[in-house]
Amino acid sequence: MEPRFNMFGNEFAMKVSKRFAGLSTVLHQSSLPQSTQELVSLRASQINGCAFCIDMHTKEAAAAGETSVRLNLVAAWREATVFTEAERAALALAEEGTRLADAHEGVSDETWAQVRKHYDDDQIAALVFLVGLINAANRMNVIVRNPAGSYEPGMLAAMKD
């Protein structure tokens, strides 16, 4: 597949992308577990059909030690036994926060209560920003048809330099 527009080859797009990547650095430095961040990003990317981000977050998670079993089961996390209750709350928030147009109430009170039960205020802030950030990234990549398959772990971090 050919991209419609090369975001990495445009000076203005790269200027914005570096700042966008800087936001992810702040999130990575939060107390929200890195594995949870990758699982949330992967699930939102699956829902949005963003092949580039699915490729990136699968590879980043694997490089950080995530198992293939858990990565393969993210799409069916409700039926899987390999996720903690906290991870399940984060995945529910990711799904409901990604599918805002599918539910009149957006994120349900039940999901929010589970998130509050398992995460402190800083981690909740990180989760909310993460869901927003990954959805924005998904939309940009899908719009320009950014192809998947060539991402190497650490490429996003290198972009910030």
CATH code linked to domain 15-26+34-159: 1.20.1290.10
Tens place of pLDDT per residue across the chain (161 aa): 788 999 889 999 999 989 988 999 999 999 999 999 999 999 999 999 999 999 999 999 999 999 999 999 999 999 999 999 999 999 999 999 999 988 778 999 999 999 999 999 999 999 999 999 999 999 999 999 999 988 888 877 766 55
pLDDT at res. 160: 59
d(CA 127, CA 154): 21
Q: With contact defined as beta carbons under 8 Å apart, do 154 and 67 qualify?
A: no
Torsion of CA 149, 22, 64, 43, to 10 degrees: -60
pLDDT at res. 161: 54
The size of the chain, in residues, is 161
Give Cα separations from 45 to 107, 110, 113, 139 (angstroms): 18, 23, 24, 9
Rg (CA), the chain: 15
pLDDT at res. 40: 98
Of 102, 60, 95, which is closest to residue 77 (Cα–Cα)?
95
Amino acid (one-letter) located at 18: K
Give Cα separations from 11 to 6, 18, 23 (angstroms): 10, 11, 19
∠ at Cα 20 (145, 61), nearest 5°?
75
Within 10 A of 156 (CB to CB), how many other CB atoms are there? Answer: 19
